[in-house]
């Protein structure tokens, strides 16, 4: 027969209460709102011809759902509060663009909030198991909060890692792409046709960005503005320098092939410099196992051998 003490009963009550609250909040989040629509929602459909759809408030555009709702749901309000708490805006949008993630900052913060709530749930389950086992202590009582914060931080960290890795790939692909563009220009094609050809035959990260440039130009955006937008979105110093030189050459009528060849050479020199710097840092890291692993083991083995040789019954071992 299982004996239930006061702490175990409290843990079971908290677990049942959390499950009941989650069910009630899930039901309330999909119920229709019966309050009157705001002025912005009422006049929104009549200004769609002068205002882009992205700038219209939520609830103005028609949406398909199981229940017609107006206004923001409970999840959207929680996501907005979490976004205001941890921050978002331009810095997060910059990292999303560098990582190649086609989502909005609000959606990313919503997923991060979901990861945090999942971490809190896992921590609560572990805390309940510890309470039932009679091993609940004061430090372990904050485990749900720590698990939630760790899950949210891990989701944000993986975005930073993806952005850094993609920046490295873009930097590595830049010289080859510039050489290919210069080859197309030397063959007699125009700059836009060269961009279109490289975007069609390429398969890297930089060619994917060039496809967006070609698509923007095809939909009416000027070529200079599309290139500036790509440089602003990626924030790569080498790519920004190339874009500035290309636009200046287009404006002044300079030969683009020579400009691209020169920029490709500069990009390769920058890559060599970065590689030499990384090699210098790796040399220091290679000394760590030598200092903290090999040398202590050598000293330890020498001490063991001396101790064995001091015993009179092992002359053969000492001789060898």
- For the domain that residue 183 is a member of, what is the CATH number? 1.20.81
What pLDDT shows up at residue 270?
A: 83
Q: Is residue 44 part of a domain?
A: no
DSSP state of 85: H
What pLDDT shows up at residue 4?
A: 53
Residues 6+ apart with CB under 8 A from 268: 175
For residues 106 and 54, give the distance between their C-alpha atoms in angstroms, rounded to a whole number: 13
Shared-domain flag, residues 257 and 179: yes
Shared-domain flag, residues 235 and 110: no
Number of H helices, E strands in the chain: 13, 0
Q: Where are the beta strands (DSSP E) in the chain?
A: none
pLDDT bin (cut points 50, 70, 90) of residue 235 is confident
Q: Is residue 61 part of a domain?
A: no
pLDDT > 70 fraction of the chain, expressed in percent and rounded? 75
Whether pLDDT at 171 is above 50: yes
Task: Evaluate whether 210 touches 198 at the Cβ level (below 8 Å).
Answer: yes
Shared-domain flag, residues 7 and 145: yes
More confident: 136 or 208: 208
Shared-domain flag, residues 100 and 219: no
Shared-domain flag, residues 183 and 249: yes
What total number of domains does the chain contain?
Answer: 2
What pLDDT shows up at residue 162?
A: 92
Q: Determine the angle formed by the axes of helices 205-218 and 143-186, rounding to 10 degrees.
A: 70
Residues 6+ apart with CB under 8 A from 75: 29, 110
Shared-domain flag, residues 176 and 264: yes
Shared-domain flag, residues 9 and 153: yes
Question: Tokens standing for 276?
Answer: 């030499």
For residues 59 and 39, give the distance between their C-alpha atoms in angstroms, rounded to a whole number: 12
Whether pLDDT at 221 is above 70: yes
Whether pLDDT at 80 is above 70: no
The mean pLDDT of the chain is: 78
Whether pLDDT at 1 is above 60: no
Residue 283, H or E segment: helix 256-289
Shared-domain flag, residues 114 and 247: no
pLDDT bin (cut points 50, 70, 90) of residue 158 is very high
Last residue of a domain, one of 147, 166, 185: 166
Q: Is residue 91 part of a domain?
A: yes
Q: Is residue 58 part of a domain?
A: no
What pLDDT shows up at residue 48?
A: 52
Summarize pLDDT for 262-295 with one digit per residue, the tens.
Answer: 888 888 888 888 888 877 777 777 777 877 888 8
Summarize pLDDT for 116-129 with one digit per residue, the tens.
Answer: 888 888 888 888 88
Shared-domain flag, residues 144 and 194: no
Shared-domain flag, residues 121 and 255: no
Task: Evaluate whether 16 touches 137 at the Cβ level (below 8 Å).
Answer: no
**Enclosing domain of residue 138:** 1-23+77-166
For residues 183 and 180, give the distance between their C-alpha atoms in angstroms, rounded to a whole number: 5
Shared-domain flag, residues 256 and 136: no
What pLDDT shows up at residue 313?
A: 55
Q: Is residue 308 part of a domain?
A: no
Determine how many CB atoms are found less than 10 A away from the CB of residue 261. 18
Summarize pLDDT for 21-52 with one digit per residue, the tens.
Answer: 888 887 777 666 666 666 666 676 666 554 55
For residues 60 and 70, give the distance between their C-alpha atoms in angstroms, rounded to a whole number: 8
pLDDT bin (cut points 50, 70, 90) of residue 95 is confident
Q: Is residue 109 part of a domain?
A: yes
For residues 11 and 136, give the distance between their C-alpha atoms in angstroms, rounded to a whole number: 10
Last residue of a domain, one of 124, 151, 166: 166
């Amino acid at each position: 027969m299982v004996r239930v003490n006061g702490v175990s009963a409290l843990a079971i009550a908290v677990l049942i209460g959390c499950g009941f609250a989650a069910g009630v909040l899930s039901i309330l989040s999909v119920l229709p709102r019966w309050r009157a629509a705001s002025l912005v929602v009422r006049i929104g459909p009549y200004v769609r011809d002068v205002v882009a759809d992205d700038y219209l408030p939520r609830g103005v555009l028609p949406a398909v759902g199981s229940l017609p709702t107006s206004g923001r749901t409970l999840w959207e309000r929680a996501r907005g509060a979490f976004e205001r708490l941890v921050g978002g805006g331009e810095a997060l949008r910059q990292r999303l663009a560098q990582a190649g993630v086609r989502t909005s900052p609000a959606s990313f913060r919503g997923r991060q909030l979901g990861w945090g709530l999942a971490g809190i749930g896992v921590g609560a389950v572990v805390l309940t198991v510890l309470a039932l086992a009679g091993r609940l202590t004061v430090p372990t009582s904050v485990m749900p909060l720590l698990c939630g914060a760790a899950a949210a931080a891990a989701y944000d960290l993986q975005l930073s890692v993806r952005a850094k890795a993609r920046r490295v790939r873009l930097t590595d692909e830049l010289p080859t792409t510039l050489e290919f563009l210069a080859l197309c220009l030397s063959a007699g094609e125009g700059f836009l046709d060269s961009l279109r050809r490289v975007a069609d035959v390429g398969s890297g990260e930089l060619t994917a960005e060039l496809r967006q440039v070609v698509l923007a130009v095809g939909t009416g955006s000027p070529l200079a503005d599309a290139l500036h937008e790509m440089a602003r979105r990626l924030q790569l110093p080498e790519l920004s320098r190339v874009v500035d030189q290309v636009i200046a050459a287009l404006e002044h009528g300079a030969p683009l092939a020579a400009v691209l060849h020169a920029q490709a050479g500069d990009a390769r020199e920058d890559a060599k410099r970065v590689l030499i710097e990384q090699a210098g840092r790796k040399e220091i890291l290679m000394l760590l196992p030598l200092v903290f692993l090999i040398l202590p083991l050598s000293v330890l083995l020498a001490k063991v051998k001396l101790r064995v040789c001091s015993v009179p019954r092992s002359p053969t071992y000492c001789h060898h």
